[in-house]
Structure 1
Amino acid sequence: MTKATFTPRVFSGIKPSGGLTLGNYLGAIKRFVGMQGEMETMYCVVDLHAITVWQDPAELSHATREVAAGYLAAGLDPAQSILFNQSRVSQHAELGWIFNCVARVGWMNRMTQFKDKAGSGAEKVSLGLYAYPSLMAADILLYHATHVPVGEDQKQHVELTRDIANKFNHDFKVDFFPETIPVIDGPATRVMNLRDGTKKMSKSGESDMERINMRDNADTIAKKFKKAKTDPEPLPDTLDGLKDRPEARNLVDIYAALSDTTSEAVIGEYAGAGWGRFKPALADLAVDKLAPISDEMTRLMDDPAEIDRILANGAERARAIAAPILARTYDIVGLLR
């Protein structure tokens, strides 16, 4: 069997459930923008994943546009990257069903995010929440994507995507789907809670002070960073000195990511500094970087028709790539069309 070659292509997506946070920006969107020009890039608002738990229909539509606005405001160029929402491309759901029949139940049972989200109520959650990793694999492999920028917490799902691709290729004696590579890099691929550095920053946290929302204005951004939880010790001389200081490490990582440098370089600059010096500097940096994005998101959300036009155009371009790949998948499986 001849080994297939695949065009380098990036695919990733964000779920529209609640507003965007700094975690979405540093862990995903900023990296998406940075990969433009390196290879073909496709970015999605994964609204089919959102409905694995119940969503108010009006809020879902609003959140879908808001994620798209976040992409655009951060610098994603819809002429250079393909930007669309998942449900506009029906091939995602079609390939997702085929992959439901390829993936094994044991694989799904090992997915740690399902266990975390379902908790003790696993018997009551939707089948979609249980099976969504196979839809995520379909999202990626529908475009023969070779690279997926993800946070550390999503690495397991990309590994499952590789398992599904390999099993499909093995079962049908083809070399049709690529082994996708997870791209995990940067100082803040997992942004933590501003009030508890052991927890991930979340849209659904109890207090709004736990997170930076991408729609926060300059004053709110500054206030949240200045009030972020820290410890009484100054910053150390080396990064190892932050090993057991999760809140301190989180703020250093955020500073590094916002300033396009490394956490080691930040420590080098601020070694010995107290929080009275560091937190105002971080607040100023965050306002400088984030406030223009917030303002542009507000402008875009005031023109939903323009967002919808961009998403529809992106979906048309996505379907042009997806349709022949799904058609060939049907032929391989033996499904008559």
Structure 2
Amino acid sequence: MSSFKPLVFSGVQPTGNLHLGNYLGALRNFVALQASHDCIYCVVDMHSLTATLVHDDLVDQTRSITAAFLASGIDPKKHIVFNQSRVPQHAELAWIFNCVARIGWMNRMTQFKDKAGKDRENASLGLLAYPSLMAADILVYRATHVPVGDDQKQHLELTRDIAQKFNNDFSARIAELGYGTEMKVGEEVVNGFFPLTEPLIEGPATRVMSLRDGTKKMSKSDPSDLARINLTDDADAIARKIKKAKTDPEPLPSELQGLENRPEAQNLVGIYAALAECSREDVIAEFGGQQFSVFKPALAELAVEKLSPIAAEMRRIQADPAYIDGILRDGGERAGALAEETMKKVHEIVGLLTN
């Protein structure tokens, strides 16, 4: 059975400073995946328009995210790094997917409900439809895998739904043109143009929580800077934020089950495990029974060791915006060639006369 060539795609919005959660939940996995897959990593600047249309610093934010990619260890020569707006095929395929997807699918998206809140009628159409653009980001390259956090799994499921409906709606045309690739859907082998992209969720801390509230996800938009460790923080800032991180009065438990109903303790143990690349059980074995006055300095030392070199490299790269722009320009040209290859076939499948 022929199959799609393994290819990883992922994107990061250029809104606010990247933080520890972005690094542990995304960037570090991006770097690791380079050893086993061809990878395309994108700064999704068009997505940043969905919640806030007017940005004073979108160009700088785009360069900052690119600098974080590079400082973390992503290789822009062996793989592709670019910003989304350089490749217009993303928006073109998104329109076709808007016509494939159903309004009911979009209305069920949890993130739309959260971001639109009670004033749904005043939300932008882009906020409602952006999962179609996300699907287009992935499928314009016919990517087979996407590293995602737990909060993005629903969007990837929608991407699979869109791909499957497109494949079903145009099955006869895909077969006639010979553009199908065999793949398994459940127990059935089918022939489709777009793959049913699989999620990659890895690591002991894929969901890093706020340092001020262990029940909330660490966020770029949190009003308190003490709630997160930014990738640009220096050693003193990292140590200060961990020292001030909210905890409870009990010592760390001697068994993992003892972390239940202790969200702040659970979060800090998870962060230590992820940074040390060990299990939570290993952390408990080393620090069980110890007070946070012992554990926090050890965590701060580890975080500074792992994150300070990235912050320093980010500052070095950001001092040369022409270098960053050159990386994005080269990546955009390479990504655009791949996207155009897909779109030429999509035009034929759908019946758009463009040649």
In which range does the TM-score fall when normalised by the shorter chain? over 0.9
- Deviation at residue 268 of structure 1 after TM alignment: 1.7
1:31 and 1:210 mapped to 2: Cα distance? 23
1:161 and 1:237 mapped to 2: Cα distance? 43
1:1-337 → structure 2 map (5 Å cutoff) = 5-173=3-171, 174=174, 175-337=192-354
- Deviation at residue 245 of structure 1 after TM alignment: 0.6
1:276 and 1:128 mapped to 2: Cα distance? 47
Q: Percent identity?
A: 63
2:55 and 2:105 mapped to 1: Cα distance? 31
2:102 and 2:60 mapped to 1: Cα distance? 35
- Deviation at residue 57 of structure 1 after TM alignment: 3.9
Which runs of 5 or more residues in structure 1 are unaligned?
none
- Deviation at residue 191 of structure 1 after TM alignment: 0.9
2:103 and 2:54 mapped to 1: Cα distance? 30
1:108 and 1:171 mapped to 2: Cα distance? 19
After superposition, what is the alpha-carbon deviation per residue over 1:258-293, rounded to whole angstroms, capped at 9, x for unaligned? 111121221122111110111000000000011111
The amino acid across from 1:48 in the alignment is M
2:15 and 2:135 mapped to 1: Cα distance? 20
- Find the residue that maps to 1:317 and give its secondary structure: helix
The amino acid across from 1:273 in the alignment is Q
- Find the residue that maps to 1:87 and give its secondary structure: helix
* RMSD (CA atoms): 1.0
After superposition, what is the alpha-carbon deviation per residue over 1:117-149, rounded to whole angstroms, capped at 9, x for unaligned? 111111111100110001000000111111100
Which TM-score applies when normalising by structure 1? 0.98
1:311 and 1:321 mapped to 2: Cα distance? 15
2:97 and 2:125 mapped to 1: Cα distance? 15
Q: What is the count of residue pairs matched by the alignment?
A: 335
- Deviation at residue 54 of structure 1 after TM alignment: 2.0
1:125 and 1:315 mapped to 2: Cα distance? 30
The amino acid across from 1:319 in the alignment is G
- Deviation at residue 53 of structure 1 after TM alignment: 2.0
- Find the residue that maps to 2:202 and give its secondary structure: coil
Q: Tell whether the 8 Å contact from 1:4 to 1:176 is kept in structure 2 after alignment.
A: no
2:47 and 2:280 mapped to 1: Cα distance? 33
1:216 and 1:142 mapped to 2: Cα distance? 36
2:79 and 2:234 mapped to 1: Cα distance? 28
Which TM-score applies when normalising by structure 2? 0.93
Runs of 4+ in 1 over 3 A off after TM superposition: 55-58
- Deviation at residue 243 of structure 1 after TM alignment: 1.4
2:201 and 2:334 mapped to 1: Cα distance? 27
- Deviation at residue 18 of structure 1 after TM alignment: 1.0
